[in-house]
Amino acid sequence: MKEQGILIKIEGKLATVRLSMGGGCGSCGSKDACASGSTGKRTISALVADGLSPKPGNPVVMEIQDRVQLIGILWFGLLPLALFAAGYAGADRVFNFASEGLAALGGMAGIALGLVIATFVSRQGSLAQRPIIISVDSSVNAPDAACETCAGCKP
């Protein structure tokens, strides 16, 4: 997955990037309330690939490895689903098939547990990797490094 943004600050190999609005954001009715669609509200940290020399204000393209996305889908999708099934079946057995509502609560508890586990796991290992800046458009005039208000710099 690739994202575009404007480099705000750089310290060594670690950069802070303000994400640009995506292609579908312009027509979305919720763009002003959404962190993804609101220009200037969403910033992330990224690593600068070797051989690049971006400056604050330069438009950049970042990439998240496909492997990291797949692992995230497994942890945040399949684990809660599996724990829902286990929680539903377990509660059904514990309460001797007495109530569908209790079994559903067991399933919901399984989903919650799965999401908590996935959240903790995502903060470690390969899921904690930062996106990598893979290209820089240095033809755009970079503004002052202290620029925090522009939505995107024009050449």
Binned at pLDDT 50, 70 and 90, residue 46 comes out as confident
pTM of the model: 0.53
10 pLDDT band, cuts 50/70/90, is confident
**Distance from C-alpha of 16 to C-alpha of 6, rounded to nearest angstrom:** 9
Collapsing DSSP states into helix, strand and coil, what is residue 19? strand
Residue 77 neighbours by CB under 8 Å, 6+ apart: none
Q: Which residue from 122, 130, 4, 115 is spatially nearest to 61, judged by alpha carbons?
A: 4
Average predicted confidence (pLDDT) for the chain? 77
